[in-house]
Amino acid sequence: MATRVDGGMGAPMARGAVVEWARDIYDDLDFTVVRQWLEEHPKSKAGGYLPVYAPREVLHATGFLPVGIHGGGDRLEIIRGDAFYQSYICHLPRSVIELAQSGRLDMLSAVLFPSTCDVIRNLSGIWKLLYPDVYVRYVDVPQIPDPGAAAEFWAGELRRLLDDLGDVTGHRPTDEELRRSIALYNETRKMIRTLYAARRERPWDVPTEELYLLLRAGESVAPEEFIARARQYLAAVAADPKRQRDNSRVVIVGAFCEQPPLGLIKSIERAGCYIVDDDFLLGNRFLTHDVPTDGDPVRALADAFIRNDMKSSVLYEIDPGGKRSLMANRVAAANADGIIFATPSFCDPALLDQPMLRNGAEKAGIPCIAFKYAENTGQFQQFREQAGTFADSIKLWGAA
């Protein structure tokens, strides 16, 4: 059972201690840190959100602790969840249902279901039927970057969320309170960008296993706590440099919704790959620029989404050449050697995008491999062999 590390968040902390703090939270499918937080904040509530993008600022401003719901991974036996889904539907929803039906999500007073795909969309309907006392909202984001109608639509959705969530907590935030939440999440995203930059620059110092655990913990704790732990982690990393290895630098693409088991990430790294960019937990950095903290805060959030330059399989690509160039752009930005398309089985957004992305990558001469996983995959040998061969081939022939 995970317990929150109280006090000393500004104090130095060993890398291992931060990682173990994060690992405890990751392993704890009872969400003990969330329950503890609720005990300490009796006037507040916990609000869940599924992948990929949900406006956490709105949850936060209305008095919720935003909690990422990412399934039970390989740490949860599915008993009830399989009764809700056919074998050809991805693993995430059955695992989320399992968490809920076993009472592990009973601390959530609201759950947001983003417009990631039809499976998550329809899960919102299941939730309405199973948990009529919980506030449920399908979060339908605009699909075109139109500063007129689309921005107005999204601003309307955000206002609706503010009203509805405010009704649940009894707290309709002022503009100033919403601006403070926006500023806090700006800081959170800035910290995540810093972590990603550190890994990109020195992947030997910032293993993705550690970074991932830290980000997963950040989905269950207050943003202030995440920022503090991340600072401690970066300070510990700077004080504890590792030796660079002759690994290949890869981008992992396609794992933005159903998360890979930690063993898969470790297997890729141990096979000789430095992961220098990825899609994991993409919602935590979906907005790539700071949201302005002046003016109408709702409009600021809406406009930030419309102006956002995040490219993702869960959004319509308005640029006809966008899919073709995306992988080359990401590889160049990360100074990577190749791409691993690691995609959850039966994931419509990732798998439908993959031919377009891969064609673009291969036309740009970027080495690629692809495999599928499920969040509860338990055998990693094949992935290790595939990734190892890929890393070797890049080193042998990549410069040719």
Binding mask 45-84 for another protein (x = CB under 8 A): --------------------------------------xx
140 binds another protein (CB under 8 A): yes
Region of 258-266, 281-289, 313-321, 373-381 interacting with another protein (CB under 8 A) = 313-321
117 binds another protein (CB under 8 A): yes
Closer residue to another protein in complex, CB, 98/353: 353
Region of 47-55, 56-64, 88-96, 167-175 interacting with another protein (CB under 8 A) = 88-96
Structural tokens at position 211: 């970074």
176 burial (CB, 10 Å; 0-12 / 13-18 / 19+) is exposed
Which of 354, 376, 380, 384: binder of another protein (CB under 8 A)? 354
Region of 63-71, 196-204, 318-326, 376-384 interacting with another protein (CB under 8 A) = 318-326
Which of 34, 58, 108, 119: binder of another protein (CB under 8 A)? 119
CB of 78 to another protein, least distance (A): 14
CB of 330 to another protein, least distance (A): 18
40 binds another protein (CB under 8 A): no
93 binds another protein (CB under 8 A): yes
Closer residue to another protein in complex, CB, 1/129: 129
238 binds another protein (CB under 8 A): no
Alpha-carbon gap, residue 34 to 110, rounded angstroms: 14
Closer residue to another protein in complex, CB, 26/85: 85
122 binds another protein (CB under 8 A): yes
For 331, phi then psi, to 5°, come to -65, -40
Alpha-carbon gap, residue 156 to 163, rounded angstroms: 11
- Helices 381-397 and 262-270, packing angle to 10 deg: 30
Region of 8-16, 45-53, 54-62, 133-141 interacting with another protein (CB under 8 A) = 133-141
**Cα–chain center distance at 265:** 15
Which of 46, 58, 123, 282: binder of another protein (CB under 8 A)? 123
In the complex, the residues that contact another protein under the rule CB under 8 A are: 83-86, 88-89, 93, 113, 115, 117-119, 121-126, 128-130, 137-138, 140, 142-144, 146, 148-150, 152-153, 156, 313, 316-318, 320, 323-324, 343, 345-349, 351-356, 358-359, 372
